[in-house]
Structures are given as structure tokens and as C-alpha cells.
Structure 1
Amino acid sequence: MNKPQLRKRMVAGSVIAGLLLTSILIWSATSLSSSEQTSTADTKKLTERDSSMNPKEVTIRVGQQGKEWVDMYPNAVHVNDKNANGEIVFYKVDWPDQGPFGTVSIDHGVNSFNVPYVMGVMGSALPSDHPDEGIDEFDLSVSLTPSPTESHPEALHQFYALLKTIQNVGWKREIRVFNPRLSGRDALLYSQTEDGDGYSIDASYVPTLIEWMKIEDIGSHWRFYANNVYLDVTFMRDHDKMDTNQPGAYLVSLNFKNSNSVERAYFKEKDRPRYKQLYPAERKRLAKLRGEAERKISSQYHIDETYIDPDGETLAPGWIRQGEIN
């Protein structure tokens, strides 16, 4: 399986997969209709032309208005607003599957950083529901190297170098508010259990190659936050290329979203217009789940009571025992 194929699998399993499905079907249908009237030679020319139009570097900013981003890169950003009655708008930039790949600059104040070897960027907005929030989510598909394959030790090194870059500019680890507070190797081990599905792995702990090869792809997450933006890093690899003495193939996803969309996601569609009023009570309920989870595993793992949530709270299980959260 090559990296373009990995990317298709990753998009299918991404956080915004549900939103993307309609968009992809429409784009595919449009492409199919066009291809029926286009020769192979013409298609090749169109591909070469589109590739040449893409800039080497693109800047994204969560919250940026879609029109502003399109105006910055009019020949590169493709817009799709022909889905879900126009309530969802998608924006995408793609680079050639075989390279050269692009560089994406994440514009987030003091927490800005660059991501090299980007194969594609997808953004989404809900202008009818939240016009002031602009593009509230971006998803990047990233190759760890400019090559079709890389050794597994190199993949481990490059992946954690990317995580280090993220941490060096001030992004903090985020543990979902209903998950137990674990750190270091404990967090890695717990993330690979049934109860730890989707758990935030601690990027400060670099696994051995043996541990790296055992990490489940797609379902393993490295989560961060900085100034009201959340970042979820995941990876996918070719399971047919798992011999550590042979090259492997990896693809990484970086998903950025604003804090409002994170909080809204805890509620059903009908309740989301009132999420600001409802979230404080939901926050307490989630904290109770964390306390219960920590009590369940406290004999196996060390609970990191120094961890502070993005909202500044640190809800220890002792609060639950004392009845301070109902």
C-alpha cells in the first residue's frame, strides 16, 4: 500500500469523515462526469497544470474566513458548498501524490509552526450556524519524509521530532476531560488497552522501536491544545510493511479545531445551539467519569495529579469521593 492509498484510508477514518463523505461523493461524481469527456492525455495536462498552480507553502489559521483563505490562494484552494443544503462548506488544497509535497504554516500567534511534506489540507466551516467562527477545523495529511517509504526507526524519529516541534512552541498535552490523568509510559500502555481507546499518549515519552511497532495506528492519539485551539495527531502505516529490517510506509494526520466545536460535540444536534449554557453541567458529569476511571486503574497506574485541563481546572478523584461533584 502506497502513501496515496494510506491517505484515502485515513480520510475515511478521520474525525471529519462524516462531514467529508458527502463532499467526496460530489467531488468524485463531478470528476467522473468530466473524465468521461476528457482523454488520458488531456487529464495528464490538467493534473500537471493543477500541480503547478499549488504554492510550495500555504498558511492556515483556525477561525479564518473561507473567502479570505481562497483570496490568498485563488488557484490552489478548491471550494465545495454543494452539500448538506449548503450548510457545510469544504476547502481543500492538494499536492501531487508522488510529490513534491507542500509546507503548511500554522498561524497561531506564539504557538505557530511549520509542517513539511504535506500531501493535502482540508478545512470545513458552518457559515449558516456559526458565521463568526470561519473555518473551524483543518485536517492535514502529512508524509514523514519526501520518499514513498522510510525505515521504521526513521519514522519513529521523524514522528517524535514533529511532536517535539509542536511542544516547543507551547502546545500543551490535552487529556479529554472524562479520561484518567496518566503520563509517561503509563499513558502509552493504557492507550493500547480496550479502556484506553482514543486516549491521549504523552508525547514527552519516546517509545522504543519495539514499543513503536506495537502501537495501534489510527486509534492512537497525541492530543494538544493552545489558546482555544485543539490539535489531534494520529498516524497510519502499511500493515504489509511491518518488518523492521525493511522499509515501511507512514502517513500522519494533524487535525485542528476550535474549542467551541470541541464543546459542541458533546451534545446532540438539537441541543448544540444552547451548548454554552449546557456545557458547565456536562463538564461536571465528565469529571465524574474521570474520577471513576482513575479509581478503577489506580492500583495499576500512577495518577498524575499535576495535570491541568485546558480550562484551568484539575478535578481530582478525591473531589468525587467527597461528594463535591454531583
Structure 2
Amino acid sequence: MRRLYYLIIITFLVGCNKSENTHTKSQLIHIDLNGSAQSLLQKSPVEFSKDCMNAVDMCWYKIQSPSSINLPSVDISLDNKTLNINQVSGITTAVSKEFGENLSNLKLTLRGLPDNTPHEDQRDFIYALINSIKAVGWQHYFFPSDPRVNGSQARKINSPDDVLGFYVSSHPWLDPDYEMDMESWLKVGSFYNWYFFKDGVHLNLRAWRKNSKDTPNERGTYLITLNFKTEELYWLSGFEEKNERRNWRELLPARLKKYAEMRQEREEKVRTAGIEVDESYQDPQIKALEK
């Protein structure tokens, strides 16, 4: 049975070179994360639906596939490397004047393993996806206020939500460079979040778990999404007021200083508790502040 699921994983991640005929071959959508949204919409072999809200000068473009037959594959290019994802059941992007013509956001919804598959197989499937993401250069990202505690210290942390009582977004249990055992996996709860960064783009891999009604500790159904954001949108989303959003580049350094102070305070606490800090990790450069 496990061999069957591994074959499914391989097929999902690398695709199938054969097709019965031209009618059953899935379509391939090329997405350049450094390109424009209009280029994606015009070149896509699958048509996007459009829904606009004039009051906020924004349009949402979607591809939603209700059927699991012939779901498209997506090639996501960044920095001359391509991540290929098969069995994509949904694609969403939003376009507004505030973010200009560049592709600032992208959400992919994936069709993974069948409903009520064993949790262990679901976990292996997701880690195979994580490894394919890392293989094309995406690296683990720590939130700037979080202590730099990686997965090597996971057994020293008792809760999947916090470290020594304070909530962290980039939790050691969810370090993409370390795999959780099944006991920890089932303790995480309904949502799993892994965070990556590459060449000015942020990526959040999220999995939502719904346990089987009959065998909740053994089987479950998982919904998997990949959310890409440009550096600008990532930092801008932290500013809500219109005036703040207009001047976010000038306001960001003060906010980063506050985050750095929070990280320093938290890292002092974890060191005192005998938890190691990953001194080798450095926050990625923010290109918007270099201009």
C-alpha cells in the first residue's frame, strides 16, 4: 500500500511523460514570478475567470477545476529555476493599481492524496513536496520577531504553537529542513505552515487537516495550498492605514527595529532554557530598502 502512495507522490511532483491521447493530456501553465499578471492571463492555455471590485480598484482572476480529470500542471519560474507542480485544482491572483503590473501574489490549490488516506502517507506526500521546493532554491524563512530556533531543537519544545509561552509563526516543529515524527505531526492541529524565501519572493506552504470521522488518529483529508507574495506585498500587508501604506518604505525600518528587539529578548530566554539558537541564519535583504 505504501509503495502505491509513493508512486502517486512521484507522479504528482514530476509528472507523467505519457498520455493516452491528446484529449487526456493535461495542460501546462507557465508562471514567471518576475513577470506581469497580464502576461500570465494572456498566455495561459486555461482561461481565468474575472471578478472586479471597482470600489477598491482590484480584480481577482481564478482558475477553479471542479473535476479531478485532466487538472493542469504549473511551472513556476524564479531566478532561472522552475518548480513544477502537477494536479493543480485552483489558481488565484489579484491585480490592482496599488501593486502595478507585476505579479504580486499567487495562490495554488493542489489535488493531493485521496480523502481519508493514512496520516503517515499524507505527511510523506507533503514532505516530498517540501523537498521539491527546496531543490529549486527556496530556503527556510524565520519571521523577524521569532527566535531563530530550528528543527534540531524540536524535542525541547512541548507545544506546537509557542516557544516558552510566546507564540511564534515560524515554529521549530515546522522547520522545512527537519521532518516531524508522527506523534508530533498529529499534535500540530488543523493547520500546518511552512515558510520559505527566495530572490525577493515569500512562499507559504499550508496544509489543512481534517481527521477521518471513523479513525481520526489514523486517517485524514488534507487541503494543500501554495501562497506566493512579492517582498513589497509581504511587508505592505502589515500596514493597514492608507497613509501608512503610502509611506510603508519609510515606516518599515522602525518596525524592523522593533522586531529585532523582540527577537533578541526571546532568544535570550530560549538560550537560558538550554535551547540552541541558529546563529547562522540571517534575515534576507529587503530590496525595497536598498533603493
Aligned equivalents of 1:294, 1:228: Cα separation in 2: 26
Which secondary structure state, in structure 2, belongs to the residue aligned with residue 159 of structure 1? helix
Which structure dedicates a bigger proportion of its chain to helix?
1
Deviations 1:139-189 (A, max 9, x none): 1111323x3442211111110011011111111110011111011143584
The worse-fitting range, judged by mean Cα deviation, of 283-292 and 265-274 is: 265-274
Cα distance change of structure 1 residues 148 and 57 upon mapping to structure 2, 3 Å threshold = farther
Aligned equivalents of 1:256, 1:264: Cα separation in 2: 14
Deviations 1:213-261 (A, max 9, x none): 222232x321001000000111011133583775421111110000011
2:92 pairs, out of 110, 113, 122, with 122
1:138 pairs, out of 106, 123, 127, with 106
Is structure 2 residue 262 aligned with structure 1 residue 292? no
Q: Structure 1: which amino acid aligns with 2:246?
A: P
Give the structure 1 partner of residue 177 of structure 2.
Answer: 204
Q: Taking structure 2 as the reference length, what is the TM-score of the superposition?
A: 0.79
The count of residues paired between Structure 1 and Structure 2 equals: 256
Deviations 1:250-288 (A, max 9, x none): 111110000011121232332111111221222111111
Aligned equivalents of 1:227, 1:214: Cα separation in 2: 33
1:258 pairs, out of 219, 222, 230, with 230
Matches within 5 A, 1:163-312: 163-186=130-153, 189=157, 191-193=160-162, 195-200=166-171, 201-218=174-191, 220-241=192-213, 243=215, 246-270=218-242, 271-300=244-273, 301-311=275-285
Q: Percent identity?
A: 23
1:72 pairs, out of 43, 55, 80, with 43
Q: Is the 8 A contact 2:34 2:78 kept in 1?
A: no
Deviations 1:12-64 (A, max 9, x none): xxxxxxxxxxxxxxxxxxxxxxxxxxxxxxxxxxxxxxxx9x96222223353
Aligned equivalents of 1:136, 1:179: Cα separation in 2: 25
Matches within 5 A, 1:100-115: 100-115=70-85
Deviations 1:181-213 (A, max 9, x none): 011143584643363353252111111122212
Q: Taking structure 1 as the reference length, what is the TM-score of the superposition?
A: 0.71
Which structure dedicates a bigger proportion of its chain to strand?
2
Is structure 2 residue 60 aligned with structure 1 residue 90? yes
Which secondary structure state, in structure 1, belongs to the residue aligned with residue 247 of structure 2? helix
Aligned equivalents of 1:242, 1:288: Cα separation in 2: 47
